[in-house]
């Protein structure tokens, strides 16, 4: 079955700050985004890689590819106003059949096992999302401002890649954008489709703040 991955890196990285966008920051000498694309290539060299980047960063990315002799074949789509719009732009480059994963460009530590489980399960389950357990106690803020402990075993932390049949994801992304669409599973669920959960890997962190870079360097 044909496999695609849309690696989204179209955001602004406001919480990370810094001089260069977080997806280009070198981790032990190699830019984050190259590590992320390599993780998918290592799982399946036949997989089609689609990278979503802001238009004004595409020339810089090409210069980085030359500088680092990065030759993995990939196509580029334009970043959009929100993650939803970036994914939709990437989907326009995906053919009509097969499986498509959507992965955050700033999650370079996804394991080959997790990538494998997500794509394998999606063949029958149509919509698959990796999750990990919550390891701390969780409190909910009520409308009146008081707080309550909630049963943490009823909650999971959601990662990427989120993998779907191409037809389902394309259908889902025809919907109008809603702010509640914080990932791809929420877009698919709005069609009334159930999502299947598989075990993620704890190292698969989303590099969001400078602290995450310290963790990332320690993981390598
Ligand atoms: N318009 C957008 C916004 C986000 N993303 C991507 O979605 C992933 C998860 O988003 P996040 O970590 O929030 O990245 P940013 O939006 O860049 O960060 P921030 O919210 O701190 O600005 C990132 O790989 C990011 O590049 C995207 O492709 N297009
Ligand atoms: C898709 C995601 O990484 C799943 O946890 C997350 O929802 C992205 O959120 P962000 O606010 O765009 O970083």
Q: Is the CB of 184 under 6 A from ligand 2?
A: no
Q: In CATH terms, is domain 3-219 a member of 3.40.50.1980? A: no
For the CA of 80, the closest atom of ligand 1 is 1
Distance, CA of 91 to CA of 85 (rounded, Å): 10
pLDDT value for 136: 97
What does the pLDDT look like over 83-134, one tens digit per residue? 999 999 999 999 989 999 999 999 999 999 999 999 999 999 999 999 999 9
- Calculate the average pLDDT of the chain: 97
Q: How many CB atoms are closer than 10 A to CB 218?
A: 7
Burial code of 74-100, b = ≥16 C-beta within 10 A, e = fewer? bebbbbbeebbbbbbbbbeebeeebbb
pTM of the model: 0.97
- Residue 46 vs residues 51, 55, 86, 208: alpha-carbon distances, Å: 15, 26, 23, 30
Ligand 1 first shell, C-beta below 6 A: 8-15, 52, 79-83, 86, 104-106, 206, 208
Ligand number with the minimum distance to the CA of 14: 1
Distance, CA of 165 to CA of 126 (rounded, Å): 5
Distance, CA of 204 to CA of 219 (rounded, Å): 10
Closest CA to 184 of 78, 117, 87, 79: 87
What does the pLDDT look like over 118-128, one tens digit per residue? 999 999 999 99
What does the pLDDT look like over 30-65, one tens digit per residue? 999 999 999 999 999 999 999 999 999 999 999 999
Q: What is the ipTM of this complex?
A: 0.96
Choosing from 5, 7, 11 the residue with most ligand 1 atoms within 8 A of its CB, the one to mutate for a pocket test is 11
Q: How many whole angstroms from 192 Cα to the centroid of ligand 2? A: 21
């Amino acid at each position: 079955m044909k496999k695609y991955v849309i690696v989204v890196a179209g955001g602004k990285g406001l919480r990370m700050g810094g001089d260069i966008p977080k997806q280009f920051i070198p981790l032990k000498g190699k830019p984050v985004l190259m590590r992320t694309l390599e993780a998918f290539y290592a799982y399946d060299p036949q997989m089609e890689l689609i990278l979503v980047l802001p238009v004004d960063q595409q020339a810089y990315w090409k210069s980085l590819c030359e500088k680092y002799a990065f030759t993995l074949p990939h196509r580029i789509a334009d970043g959009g106003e929100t993650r939803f719009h970036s994914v939709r732009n990437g989907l326009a480059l995906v053919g009509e059949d097969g499986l498509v994963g959507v992965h955050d460009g700033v999650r370079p530590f996804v394991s080959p096992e997790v990538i494998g489980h997500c794509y394998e399960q999606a063949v029958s389950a149509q919509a698959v999302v990796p999750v990990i357990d919550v390891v701390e106690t969780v409190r909910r803020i009520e409308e009146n401002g008081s707080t309550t402990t909630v049963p943490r075993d009823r909650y999971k932390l959601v990662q990427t890649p989120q993998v779907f049949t191409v037809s389902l994801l394309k259908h889902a992304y025809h919907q109008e954008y809603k702010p509640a669409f914080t990932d791809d599973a929420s877009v698919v669920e709005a069609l009334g489709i159930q999502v299947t959960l598989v075990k993620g890997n704890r190292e698969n962190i989303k590099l969001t703040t400078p602290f995450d870079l310290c963790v990332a360097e320690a993981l390598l």
